[in-house]
């Protein structure tokens, strides 16, 4: 019997990876997005485009009808979280309640606050000491406390890979590669949690396939790749076949201009993530899905970087 998933935010970076992963597993996907889907997804016979705003209650309710799973992959801009994060979460919960579908949410490490410990487990205490931490804690608490909704939070680190842009990897680390520089946002010796999106999408599909056993609320951690900045740079250098100079994100300039640039102000608040070593752990995830997907770093970097990066060569020797 064909199973059906509604992906909210299907045109986004994670949404596209999820839609592709579900259809490759034989699911029908109702792909909600305000803008047209990429051609490859739009032409997939297992994809049904749902062109509407996620807050359009009537249109989304019709799309959710008969679904086995609803994935809340909507992610407002940092500057829009206060206005949209909870309303979008409420809308996703209403859809799960009316359809009886399993609600799935990609979680992040914000819940653990500014002093997040180095090892983040499913029982690690949450700490709402930043605005975004409080919002994420509230979203997940609503799901956990809803007696009439089955739900699962799949927590992951910073995204990389997949289509489009908008992650720390492509908006910081890779911005100066053509000039022979690797820009890292924090201390390059500290471990940092990363999630290669095609791997994360596979975790969602495999958890969704256990839908009948997922009653009530669950949360799991996707370990992904735990990498230092130095390890990332070494992987990029190996792919490009050239050494790179290490560069740092200009936090002083960002902080200075933050009062005039709302997005930069939000980045300053989240800088702590680059000053605290952390990794995600969850031995129980394998009990749900078997072997946890983890694409080798070299392969993930090759798929993530622009096509020119593998052919780039410095015009003069670079000292690292």
Q: Residue 7 is inside which H or E element, if any?
A: strand 4-8
- What is the arithmetic mean of pLDDT over 156-169? 90
Residue whose structure tokens are 């080798």: 296
Residues of the chain with pLDDT > 70, as a percent, come to: 96
Residue whose structure tokens are 């992610």: 75
Confidence at residue 318, expressed as pLDDT on a 0 to 100 scale: 27
Confidence at residue 170, expressed as pLDDT on a 0 to 100 scale: 87
**Annotated domain spans of the chain:** 4-160+195-223+278-294
Task: Name the DSSP letter for residue 86.
Answer: H
Instruction: For residues 78 and 85, give the distance between their C-alpha atoms in angstroms, rounded to a whole number.
Output: 10
Tens digit of each residue's pLDDT (9 = 90 or more) over 15-27: 999 999 999 999 9
The three-point CA angle 5-38-32 to 5° equals 35
Average pLDDT, the chain: 93
Coil vs helix vs strand at 49:
strand
Count of positions (residues) in the chain:
320
Confidence at residue 58, expressed as pLDDT on a 0 to 100 scale: 97
What's the predicted TM-score (pTM) here?
A: 0.94
Domain 4-160+195-223+278-294 of CATH type 3.40.50.300: no
Confidence at residue 315, expressed as pLDDT on a 0 to 100 scale: 37
- What is the arithmetic mean of pLDDT over 26-43? 96
Confidence at residue 308, expressed as pLDDT on a 0 to 100 scale: 58
Give the E-state strand segments of 242-313 in sequence order.
245-248, 279-280
User: Which pair of tokens denotes residue 87?
Assistant: 């309303």
Confidence at residue 313, expressed as pLDDT on a 0 to 100 scale: 44
- Confidence category of residue 78, pLDDT binned at 50, 70, 90: confident
Tens digit of each residue's pLDDT (9 = 90 or more) over 268-315: 999 999 999 999 999 999 999 999 999 999 999 999 997 657 654 443
- What is the arithmetic mean of pLDDT over 184-203? 97
Confidence at residue 306, expressed as pLDDT on a 0 to 100 scale: 75
């Amino acid at each position: 019997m064909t199973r059906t998933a509604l992906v909210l935010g299907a045109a986004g970076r994670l949404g596209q990876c999820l839609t592709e992963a579900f259809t490759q597993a034989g699911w029908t996907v109702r792909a909600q997005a305000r803008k047209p889907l990429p051609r490859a997804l739009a032409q997939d016979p297992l994809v049904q485009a749902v062109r509407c705003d996620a807050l359009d209650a009537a249109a989304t309710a019709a799309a959710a009808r008969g679904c086995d799973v609803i994935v809340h992959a909507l992610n407002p801009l940092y500057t829009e979280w206060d206005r949209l994060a909870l309303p979008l979460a409420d809308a996703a919960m209403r859809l799960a309640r009316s359809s009886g579908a399993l609600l799935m949410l990609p979680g992040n490490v914000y819940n653990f606050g500014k002093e997040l410990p180095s090892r983040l487990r499913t029982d690690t205490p949450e700490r709402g000491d930043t605005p975004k931490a409080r919002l994420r804690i509230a979203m997940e608490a609503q799901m956990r406390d809803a007696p009439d909704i089955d739900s699962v939070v799949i927590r992951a680190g910073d995204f990389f890979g997949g289509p489009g842009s908008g992650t720390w990897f492509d908006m910081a680390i890779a911005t100066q590669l053509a000039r022979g520089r690797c820009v890292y946002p924090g201390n390059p010796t500290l471990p940092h949690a990363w999630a290669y999106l095609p791997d994360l999408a596979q975790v969602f599909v495999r958890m969704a396939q256990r839908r009948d056993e997922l009653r009530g609320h669950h949360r799991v951690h996707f370990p992904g790749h735990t990498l230092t900045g130095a390890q990332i740079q070494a992987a990029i250098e190996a792919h490009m076949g050239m050494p790179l100079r290490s560069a740092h994100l200009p936090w002083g300039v960002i902080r200075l201009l933050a009062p005039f640039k709302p997005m930069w102000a939000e980045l300053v608040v989240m800088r702590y993530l680059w000053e605290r070593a952390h990794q995600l752990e969850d031995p129980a995830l394998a009990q749900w899905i078997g072997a946890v997907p983890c694409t080798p770093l070299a392969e993930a970097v090759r798929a993530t970087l622009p096509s020119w990066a593998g052919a780039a060569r410095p015009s003069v020797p670079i000292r690292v």
